[in-house]
Amino acid sequence: MSWQGRGKAAIVGVGFSPIERHAAQPLGMFADRAIADALEDCGLPAAEIDGLATYPSAPYAGARQREGEDVIGCEYVISNLCPGDVRWYADLNGGMVTAAIAEAAIALISGACRYALVWRAMHHPAGRYGVSRDTSATAMRQADDDSQFSAPWGCTGPVMWHALALRRYIERYHPTREQMATLPLNSRRHAQLNDHAFFRGKPMELNDYLSARMIAEPLSLLDCDVPVQACVAFVMTTAERAKDLKQKPAYLAGFATNASRRPPLLHSALVDHYAAGTETASQLWKATRMSACEMSAAMLYDGFAPSAMYWLECAGFCGPGEAYAFAQDGRIALGGALPVNTFGGSLSQGRLHGMGHAAEAVLQVTGRAGARQVPDANAVCVFAGSPMMRGSGIIITRDP
């Protein structure tokens, strides 16, 4: 079903906080900075904001949920950063930030609000993430959630699910280690052109990838995104109101918030990857009446590098099992047929759970991507989340 709201809502301002590791300042200050930056970007007074949407959840299992420190939900923004009267807000429980962008567009088009802030703030303190469970008798008795089926065997987090899935993929399709290096290297090169990238100024060579220490084979450190503290914020409004603001609007052509039955996380057999991710992509193409071949660039979630490769296949940029071959010969680089993650991806910009991807789509279609600008970029797709967990998608366009 195509979406009736196509081109009726737009992202008009983009703001970034600094992107740091083990930050000394609380997350609230990063949100403050990103939101102020987004408002200044489009020239809108803060008091005009009357809608809010985010996907606020803390980025790792077992994290605390203190507003302003661990997470930035609507309540924090209403209380601290938003002087006007908020008429509509949404703290989403699922669907990643791309779903929050879609919700804000729906609210704007319906008239529930006039100007909306959408943001994603990430807090990664020093230390270990992922479920960390002892196998002592006491700890095992306490493992009463889903982890009771995996934690007692030392299978304790997303990196292992992804490792199990990638092993299966390698057995089927035989990508080489050199081919697996292509996306991380490509992203690191792109990050050298992005001021808002954690790894700017830190280039990577093939040998760095090949010699990186293993985390969970076949995934090495350089297949994992870098946990950062940061916030990225958007100002959104209707296409009509967008005309009066400073920047060129970036229009939302449509979205997919795949709500099909979600496979259990440990069902990491490839059939589930393709079922969920392919459904998300199919919904996005139908909603926008667009196709893969119309995309000027693709921003593909890369919390773990293989996710972006699976998205290439799920979205139909290539066939199943072809992603690693597809990515060769500069095809996913700037100047290639399908530039992927032109901002550095989560691998090299930092873990922003898809918000960095969405921001880059906006900057590309509005011609504001500087040295990494894709010529004549008029449509960019964003897939957030791993296809293994369904994910969600949006398409951002230059024209309404």
Q: In the complex, which residues of this chain contact other proteins (CB under 8 A)? A: 128, 130-137, 139-140, 149-157, 159-160, 163-165, 167-168, 171, 213-219, 266-269
- Closer to other proteins by CB, 41 or 223: give it: 223
Shortest CB 362 distance to other proteins, Å: 35
Widest pairwise Cα distance in the chain: 64
Shortest CB 208 distance to other proteins, Å: 17
Shortest CB 137 distance to other proteins, Å: 5
Q: Residue with structure tokens 């669907």?
A: 95
Q: At what angle do helices 305-314 and 158-173 cross, to 10 degrees?
A: 50
Shortest CB 319 distance to other proteins, Å: 21
| Residue in 212, 255, 215 with CA at minimum distance from that of residue 105 | 255
Cα gap 103→118, rounded to integer Å: 10
- Closer to other proteins by CB, 252 or 309: give it: 309
- Closer to other proteins by CB, 65 or 135: give it: 135
Instruction: Determine which helix (DSSP H) or strand (DSSP E) holds 255, and give its type and residue range.
Output: strand 250-256
- Closer to other proteins by CB, 48 or 208: give it: 208
Shortest CB 164 distance to other proteins, Å: 4
Cα gap 104→86, rounded to integer Å: 13
Could you please report the per-residue DSSP string of 90-132? EE-SSSHHHHHHHHHHHHHHHTS-SEEEEEEEE---SS--S--
- Closer to other proteins by CB, 273 or 372: give it: 273
Shortest CB 286 distance to other proteins, Å: 28
- Closer to other proteins by CB, 171 or 376: give it: 171
- Closer to other proteins by CB, 216 or 231: give it: 216
Phi-psi region of 25 (alpha: psi -120 to 50; beta: other; left: phi over 0): beta
In the chain, alpha helices (H):
27-42, 74-80, 96-110, 137-142, 158-173, 177-191, 206-210, 239-242, 270-288, 305-314, 323-326, 345-348, 355-365
Shortest CB 270 distance to other proteins, Å: 9
Could you please report the per-residue DSSP string of 367-400? T--GGGPPTT--EEEEEES-GGG--EEEEEES--
Q: Residue with structure tokens 């809108």?
A: 44
